[in-house]
Structure 1
Amino acid sequence: MGPTVPGIDAGTRQRLIARFGNEVEVWFDALPGVLTALEDGWQFKLGSPIPRGSVSAVFRCRMADGRRAVLKASPDRARLAFEGAALDAWHTVHTPAVIALDEQLGALLIEAIEPGTPLVVSSIYPAAESVAKLLTSLHESGVSNPSYPTVEQRVAYLFDSSAKLYERHPELTALIPLDLYERGRRLATRLAQQGSPIVLLHGDLTPSNILDGGAERGLVAIDPAPCLGDAAFDAVDLLLWQADDLETIAARIERLAAATNMDAGRLVGWCVAFAGMSALELASQGNGAGAGMDALLELASQA
């Protein structure tokens, strides 16, 4: 197939520079050649960029046999290799199939999900049964490779990364005091260290990374940051999303615990631990006022 390399959209460049620094420009300079080589080697036609992701440039593409696919290319080759290995380790319709992976080039080709609308775009809160099916399929079908990071390492990474928001928005300490944030970190660390059944976790199961897979597939999880630990960790983002009061969060926890046999107390604990971080991220996006923020701050105060 002939080269059809599209331009890199400005948003992707900005997100990756914010993540990796200006040195990522060298990677961007080499990217067109990499894409052309992949297109020829893997026999697909490159399409338009998908404006998402902070660690990869993502493109729509079509295979020679007509299948739709998605190509991810990243300067973080190790993370993309972990992602590809985890997706390959899950034997479920609730994750996309891996078509090809090139660890040296930092490229991953996966099947496209149809219709593929992320929850964060549709703003439709999924039924508890759908969430339970997704989580159960991930945690029961995955293979726990000991090379993956632990959930304790994932917790440390997330809290370190989000703490940088205080540097960019120092005024947010008035709304989310640093002590409140650090209490959440300490609780999350304790939860990660406590004995619990170890499963392969998605590790980044946010509404941005959950797609509508249609009536047959249900919810489909993409862009994992795989790690090993407590199954309840993966539920936090969905439990806190679009919740305007503590009663809503409590009801979600009760329904999810009943549907998955997860420990309700651990679900509560993880939500308390991450409530301060969730509040900080919301506030940094200009969503500082409202019932949802009040609920998160009240929950975080329980840490």
Structure 2
Amino acid sequence: MQSVPFEASAIDSYPSRAAWDSAAAELVGVMLDRWHLTAGQPFVGGEAASVLRVTRADGSSAVLKVGFPHVEAIWEAVGLEGWGARLAPAVLDQDPWTWSLLLEDVQPGIPLLRYRVPAEDALRSAGRLYEVTSTRRIPDGLPTLQDSMRPVLDKAVSRLRQHVPLLGANGGVLEAGLEEFSRLLDISPRESFLHGDFNPGNIISSDRGWRVIDPKPMRGDAAFDLWPLVTQLGDPFGAPRPEEVLARQLRQVCAMTDVDLDRAARWAFARATLNVSWFLDDQDGRAALGALREATAWRAVSAA
């Protein structure tokens, strides 16, 4: 089918995640009826959607995803279709107004994060996948990295005055990271087809190899995409010197994907500091301290 961007006006219908949560069950019921689906087992772990396995009228299995409307995911269906069924679940149907997708039920569909394999092997699998997804033809109309992330950065910068004092002597880490973010947005390297959230939970197994799910697709610098993958595989922060583990893992993926190592390290530092800002916004001090530790390690990697 021809996928389209989700309807942006739906974002204004839900002023908060709690407002959408209260309507989600009804939305799922509407889509089950509309597409003649029988509900099956829900998937757990998703933060921005209700996702469940369903049976179609012809008896075949599929996955229903009803998403929480947010700016980053507007182009999700277009991204999935752009990669095609070899690299992502096939889009079987879409309702852009309710942010609903009927997707291929990929089997076994186990996230890379849950495979008990050495980090080096997992990074190799993910690197091979990213090398292909990032170089596919970029769908027409896909937003740029700059257009997508500049408003996010501006919001974080506007709150520096409140956030920096909360970090005490470490306030400079947040300031430096957001400054780096701004500098990187001003760089215009070759454009790639970005996933936007290329973490090992969004890479799933299939009988045709690894595939990506839950994209926040953009066009821009491929170096932006590698931070969550490298940070979340293995156990970098269980090591005495996490920056050494992060640097080694980043070198491996960059070598496989032909992504610039220096920019990838700088993007990792910048994105980690943005997480600090978000957790401070949420008044989650424990998470902010964890993100600060990560940002400090990535700062060391980017400066090496």
TM-score w.r.t. length of structure 1:
0.75
Of the three residues 118, 142, 152, the one matched with 1:148 is: 142
Of the three residues 214, 222, 230, the one matched with 2:221 is: 230
Of the three residues 8, 19, 24, the one matched with 1:24 is: 19
User: Is 1:199 aligned to 2:192, yes or no?
Assistant: yes
Which moves more between the two structures, 133-142 or 40-49? 40-49
Question: Which residue does the alignment assign to 2:209?
Answer: 217
State whether residues 152 and 189 of structure 1, in contact with CA within 8 Å, keep that contact through their aligned partners in structure 2.
no
The residue correspondences of 1:287-298 to structure 2 (distance < 5 A) are: 294=293, 296-298=295-297
State whether residues 209 and 222 of structure 1, in contact with CA within 8 Å, keep that contact through their aligned partners in structure 2.
yes
CA displacement at 1:229 relative to structure 2? 0.4
CA displacement at 1:78 relative to structure 2? 6.7
State whether residues 142 and 218 of structure 2, in contact with CA within 8 Å, keep that contact through their aligned partners in structure 1.
yes
CA displacement at 1:60 relative to structure 2? 2.0
Of the three residues 249, 255, 278, the one matched with 2:252 is: 255
CA displacement at 1:121 relative to structure 2? 4.6
Of the three residues 99, 105, 108, the one matched with 1:106 is: 99
State whether residues 70 and 111 of structure 1, in contact with CA within 8 Å, keep that contact through their aligned partners in structure 2.
yes
1:263 maps to a residue whose letter is: D
CA displacement at 1:74 relative to structure 2? 3.0
User: Is 1:268 aligned to 2:262, yes or no?
Assistant: no
In 2, Cα distance between the equivalents of 1:217 and 1:234?
A: 20
How far does the alpha carbon of each residue in 1:76-98 deviate from its partner, in whole angstroms, 9 at most, with x for none? 28765511111111135231111
Identity %: 25
How far does the alpha carbon of each residue in 1:244-281 deviate from its partner, in whole angstroms, 9 at most, with x for none? 31121221222222211111222122122223345677
**3-state DSSP of counterpart to 2:266:** helix
Question: Which residue does the alignment assign to 1:61?
Answer: 54
CA displacement at 1:24 relative to structure 2? 2.1
Question: Which residue does the alignment assign to 2:8?
Answer: none
Gap regions ≥5 residues in structure 1: 1-15
In 2, Cα distance between the equivalents of 1:60 and 1:176?
A: 45
**3-state DSSP of counterpart to 1:61:** strand
In 1, Cα distance between the equivalents of 2:112 and 2:279?
A: 17
State whether residues 80 and 106 of structure 1, in contact with CA within 8 Å, keep that contact through their aligned partners in structure 2.
no
How far does the alpha carbon of each residue in 1:135-154 deviate from its partner, in whole angstroms, 9 at most, with x for none? 11211224232x33221233
In 1, Cα distance between the equivalents of 2:288 and 2:254?
A: 30
Question: Which residue does the alignment assign to 2:231?
Answer: 240
In 1, Cα distance between the equivalents of 2:167 and 2:33?
A: 51
State whether residues 203 and 213 of structure 2, in contact with CA within 8 Å, keep that contact through their aligned partners in structure 1.
yes
Question: Which residue does the alignment assign to 1:139?
Answer: 134
1:154 maps to a residue whose letter is: S
How far does the alpha carbon of each residue in 1:17-58 deviate from its partner, in whole angstroms, 9 at most, with x for none? xx9427725x844852x4344224323212233233333222
State whether residues 275 and 288 of structure 2, in contact with CA within 8 Å, keep that contact through their aligned partners in structure 1.
no
Question: Which residue does the alignment assign to 1:300?
Answer: 299
Aligned pairs, how many? 279
The residue correspondences of 1:165-180 to structure 2 (distance < 5 A) are: 173-174=167-168, 176-177=170-171, 179-180=172-173
Gap regions ≥5 residues in structure 2: 1-10
In 2, Cα distance between the equivalents of 1:225 and 1:162?
A: 19
TM-score w.r.t. length of structure 2:
0.74
In 1, Cα distance between the equivalents of 2:33 and 2:214?
A: 25
In 1, Cα distance between the equivalents of 2:109 and 2:73?
A: 21
Say if 1:79 and 1:154 are closer, same or farther in 2 by CA, change over 3 A.
closer
User: Is 1:73 aligned to 2:70, yes or no?
Assistant: no
